Amino acid sequence: MGFFSLTHQPNFKMSSSISGFSKLSKAEKIQWLRLNYLPDGSHKILEQFWSSDNAFQNVFENFSENTVSNFHLPYSIAPNFLIDGTLYAVPMVTEESSVVAAASAGAKFWLKRGGFKTRIINNLKEGQIHFNWAGEAQILEAFIRTNIESFISACKNTTSRMEKRGGGINTITLRDFTAIEPQYYQLKVQFRTADAMGANFINSVLEELADFFSVRLTAETNIEPTIIMCILSNYTPDCVVESMVQCKVSEFDDKNAEYYTDKFQKAVRIAQIDTYRAVTHNKGLMNGVDAVAIATGNDFRAIEAGAHAFAARDGVYKSLSECTVEGGVFTMRATLPLAVGTVGGLTRLHPLAKLSLELLQSPTSEQLMSIIASVGLAQNFAAVRSLVTTGIQKGHMKLHLSNILNEMGASESVAESAQKYFESHTVSVNAVRDYLNEK
């Protein structure tokens, strides 16, 4: 292992900065943490979360850098999702109590009312070559127009395999920003990436294309562009899915269905007109989206960034969902961009991501878009339904109660009696503490 004695390491003298941390072995990294940051004995917690299977542990350590342990999150199932006529038991990874319960309740409600119907509005991803060029815009435009075919051919090395899977470069357009930033242009490249999310593919093609573009433009015009950067965009307004649910108001099992569906519609409308409410409303929807994205090994940060930008596409941040109650029919739909993959990235490397995709019956990327959007809609539906009926805290605190009881070390029998007691009392950390003290 090449372990060392700490007292003989001059770099390790109670200092909180270090160079070459990444080059240390895992044991050395932990030793350094013990010396500089960790409370005595707490390194054992890091060790507790290692897998006993070394090969398995190695897989995890290679996902990221400077790994010293694994961070577990609950892996849950929301059953009864009827989406476009197929039933799914959807895997969800989230730490927030009541998210999976809410998604499951939403799924069960719509199971008996026709389920979720989805529509892929488009499935194009986008990347950009950002550059400065000192020549005239018309010359550049003409150059791009006459060279499109050669641009596409220049990337064949990277695109040919993707083309066999139905993907590749879709369009290349020039965007002129010189009115706001001198000499700044952009080549906007749209792609189809088949079942991959496509980030690596897009970035590779962009870099290859930028080299070719730069040499060819210089040769033809004698003015060399400065390539500033090449990168995909996580804003994907052309990779959008819609999920929709619909039923008669009379099919709501609430006593006063008309009153509550009217309140429901107003609650969604408020999220259309008030940004403060819209952000929370969309956060609820994204609770479901992120949980499935994580469970399937997709990049939830990219999805989050793209979804919130899409929510603000009209210049005002708004709800990602809409709701109408017309002629006695309740309709709710969520529309959002979802750049996801079912191949590549973590999808096959992480054993649970692989399993999640198997659970979902090995979907295409478009089917996964439909599933994720529907879970988001179910989540949003369940949250708004609670808000306009019982209020959110009742269900939320019930689930939160078991976490508080666990944290306070309540025995199984005391926890059971506490659950009964709090059916008719308000849950709070203090109330639970008082209850346990009296036991």
User: Minimum distance between the CB of residue 138 and ligand MEV, rounded to whole angstroms?
Assistant: 51
Given 33, 359, 392, 408, the residue binding ligand MEV (CB under 6 A): 392
Query: Is residue 283 annotated as a catalytic residue, yes or no?
Result: yes
Given the complex with ligand MEV, which of 281 and 308 has the nearer CB atom? 281
Among 84, 96, 224, 251, which one carries the catalytic annotation?
A: 96
- Residue numbers 89-118 binding ligand MEV by CB under 6 A: 96
Task: Tell me the window of 36-44, 195-203, 384-392, 405-413 that interacts with ligand MEV (CB under 6 A).
Answer: 384-392
Instruction: Please identify which residue in the block is written with the tokens 């490249």.
Output: 189
User: Minimum distance between the CB of residue 85 and ligand MEV, rounded to whole angstroms?
Assistant: 28
Given the complex with ligand MEV, which of 394 and 425 has the nearer CB atom? 394
Closest CA to 295 of 80, 27, 88, 19: 88
Rounded CA separation 394/389 (Å): 11
Query: Is residue 439 annotated as a catalytic residue, yes or no?
Result: no
Among 299, 308, 318, 366, which one carries the catalytic annotation?
A: 299
Query: Is residue 299 annotated as a catalytic residue, yes or no?
Result: yes
Given the complex with ligand MEV, which of 66 and 280 has the nearer CB atom? 280
Given the complex with ligand MEV, which of 97 and 193 has the nearer CB atom? 97
Considering the rule CB under 6 A, would residue 399 count as an interface residue with ligand MEV?
Answer: no
Considering the rule CB under 6 A, would residue 376 count as an interface residue with ligand MEV?
Answer: no
Mask 283-322, x = binds ligand MEV (CB under 6 A)? xx--x-----------------------------------
User: Minimum distance between the CB of residue 381 and ligand MEV, rounded to whole angstroms?
Assistant: 10
Query: Is residue 207 annotated as a catalytic residue, yes or no?
Result: no
User: Minimum distance between the CB of residue 299 and ligand MEV, rounded to whole angstroms?
Assistant: 21
Given 82, 107, 383, 404, the residue binding ligand MEV (CB under 6 A): 383
Given the complex with ligand MEV, which of 227 and 372 has the nearer CB atom? 372
User: Minimum distance between the CB of residue 257 and ligand MEV, rounded to whole angstroms?
Assistant: 20
Among all residues, whose Cβ is closest to ligand MEV? Answer: 284
Given 160, 250, 256, 280, the residue binding ligand MEV (CB under 6 A): 280
Three-class SS string for the chain? CCCCCHHHCHHHCCCCCCCCHHHCCHHHHHHHHHHHCCCCCCHHHHHHCCCCCHHHHHHHHCCCCCCCCCCCCCEEEEEEEEECCEEEEEEEECCCCCHHHHHHHHHHHHHCCCCEEEEEEEECEEEEEEEECCCCHHHHHHHHHHHHHHHHHHCHHHHHHHHHCCCEEEEEEEEECCCCCCCEEEEEEEEECCCECCHHHHHHHHHHHHHHHHHHHHHHHCCCCEEEEEEEECCCCCEEEEEEEEEEHHHCCCCCHHHHHHHHHHHHHHHHHCHHHHHHHHHHHHHHHHHHHHHCCCCHHHHHHHHHHHHCCCCCCCCCEEEEEECCEEEEEEEEECCCCCECCCCCCCHHHHHHHHHCCCCCHHHHHHHHHHHHHHHHHHHHHHHHCCCHHHHHHHHHHHHHHHHCCCCHHHHHHHHHHCCCCCCCHHHHHHHHHHC
User: Minimum distance between the CB of residue 289 and ligand MEV, rounded to whole angstroms?
Assistant: 12
Given the complex with ligand MEV, which of 388 and 432 has the nearer CB atom? 388
Active site residues: 96, 283, 299, 396
Interface with ligand MEV by CB under 6 A: which residues?
Answer: 96, 280-281, 283-284, 287, 383-384, 387, 392
